[in-house]
Structure 1
Amino acid sequence: MDAPITDAEESQAREQIASLCRDIGGDGCPRCRGEKVYRLGSGRMRCKACGYTFHELTGRFMGVGGLGCAQWLRLIRLFADEIAVKECAQAMGVAYNTVYKAYDALRQAIVCRAIDAGQIRQALKDQAAGARPPVFGIMARGDWVFVDLVPDVDAADLTIFKMHFRLKTSRVGSVVYTGPIRGYLGLVSCGGPQWLTPALKARDSALPLDEDGGFWPYLKSRLERLQGVSAEKFPLYLKELEYRWNHRGQDLAGLLARVGLGFMPQNGEACCRS
């Protein structure tokens, strides 16, 4: 377990988060959006316009779960280092469910920044309501990879493509991926065991994704480490790994702190500030 957080560390973390909030915007009053606020002796802030008392994480998804500023920054570092939920909870001395929800919020924050975020969120809602799982296309451009939702294809279509159009497929557990199609290196979907038809259970060889040597082997190794991921959570993991790949070699913890702080509820929906 990490050493307990001191008052000095919490104060330093609070100032760091306050600085990030000012940089990305939305550092005013979360109730009336007033910009004139002042700090109290307790460390909290108060709005001059409406008198509301709050702290840096109030009104943000990062404010859920009761974690302090220093705890959040520590958790983000562990997430950036790909430490599993159980090990993170043990290291921080907090409940497993607290870390699980925090990790999930960070993944949702990453999805929220995607160009097709609205489509992905709608696809997840449709899937929760019984629709077939979504399909994503993988495209590489130089050192960058793009994982796009393919809106007019779902998991059940992959069997049709294979049987009638000879599209090669392979899989990692319940995650099915394909050969090139529509300008993508391949399509990928996690439909769960119920969508693994006999055709999709059979693994073809020599798929370009396997031979690319870039993003896909990186993603496959992490799927194998997870030893299975649910169909409902797969899009979140997929977009997380796209983000990690495209920001490799950078200060990922620092970037994720901005992403997490910019993830805010607005009018009943999640929105992101840059």
Structure 2
Amino acid sequence: MPPRNKYILRSKISEAKTRQLVRLFAIDLNASQVAQVTGLNRNTVNRIVAGIRERIAAACEAESPVAGEVEVDESYFGARRVRGVRGRGARGKTIVFGLFKRQGRVYTEIVPDCSKATLQRIIRGRVDLESVIHSDGWRSYDGLVDLGYQKHFRVQHSENEFATEHCHISGIESFWGYAKTRLVRFRGLQKRTFYFHLKECEFRFNHRGEDLYQLVLKILRKTPLS
């Protein structure tokens, strides 16, 4: 009987081969490249990588930012802008809301719209009341101080207002740039698949400079694939 693989239960793939696959995933090779290097079937690689992304997404949900200096913003992913359709909620795009704890990590959530009720529900659920919030001038952020947040600073991009050293949302904007640059190579993703790719971006961004290989192995030891 082959030795048990603690990363993938009931798997015919060896533990050594699994570690090789995880190492290649950690350096951000795509499924075709991983299959070529490991000698595994492309469909097998896709299945394992999809499982890894699901575990990563669960880990991201558990380590969202909650306090301190927090930047909030929304961004739009997907289809190119349709001519004549403008503003927040442009047709054909997936809306993502993000929280960025300064000197810390980002948390993202796919949302149906940019309404005050939608965005403030997430803020109330994820951000401690002692936090200082930074945002742009979008009206959905009106009234955060009335909800009990200590301070709320805004940058009015529409009025060509320049960000200051303390009042800006450049942290979350840097994540948007990173995620869009990375995701464009997948050339279109279904919404369910997009969620897991987005969370992978979040995980890579939050743990930049760390050993992603060891982090993913730790996640898989805790919640193995099946």
Fold shared, TM-score > 0.5 on shorter chain: yes
- Give the aligned partner of residue 164 of structure 2: none
> Where do 1:137-152 residues align within 5 Å?
137-149=97-109
Change (3 A) 1:137 1:103: same
Structure 2 distance, partners of 1:212, 1:232, is 23
Structure 2 distance, partners of 1:65, 1:101, is 12
Do residues 82 (structure 1) and 34 (structure 2) align?
A: no
Q: Is the 8 A contact 1:138 1:145 kept in 2?
A: no
Structure 1 distance, partners of 2:37, 2:62, is 35
> Where do 1:104-253 residues align within 5 Å?
104-115=50-61, 136-149=96-109, 153-154=111-112, 157=113, 214-253=174-213
Aligned residues: 154
- Report the CA distance between 1:90 and its aligned residue: 0.9
- Largest Rg, 1 or 2: 1
Encode CA deviations 1:73-95: one digit per residue, 9 max, x unaligned: 11011111110001110111111
Secondary structure of the residue aligned to 1:223 is helix
Q: Is the 8 A contact 1:210 1:217 kept in 2?
A: no
Encode CA deviations 1:176-217: one digit per residue, 9 max, x unaligned: xx985756xxxxxxxxxxxxxxxxxxxx9x9x9789652111
Secondary structure of the residue aligned to 2:199 is helix
Given the two structures, how large is their TM-score scaled by the length of structure 2?
Answer: 0.56
Q: CA RMSD in A?
A: 3.5
Q: Which has the higher contact order (CA 8 A, sep 6+)?
A: 2
Given the two structures, how large is their TM-score scaled by the length of structure 1?
Answer: 0.47
Q: Is the 8 A contact 1:89 1:99 kept in 2?
A: yes
Change (3 A) 1:257 1:70: same
Letter aligned with residue 103 of structure 2: D
> Where do 1:41-120 residues align within 5 Å?
44=3, 55-57=4-6, 62-63=8-9, 66-115=12-61
- Report the CA distance between 1:264 and its aligned residue: 4.3
Q: Is the 8 A contact 2:108 2:199 kept in 1?
A: no
Q: Is the 8 A contact 2:53 2:197 kept in 1?
A: yes
Residue ranges of structure 2 left out of the alignment (5+ in a row): 64-92, 117-135, 142-157, 161-167
Structure 1 distance, partners of 2:213, 2:15, is 14
Segments of 4+ in structure 1 off by > 3 A? 114-117, 133-136, 178-183, 208-213
Residue ranges of structure 1 left out of the alignment (5+ in a row): 1-41, 45-54, 118-132, 162-177, 184-203
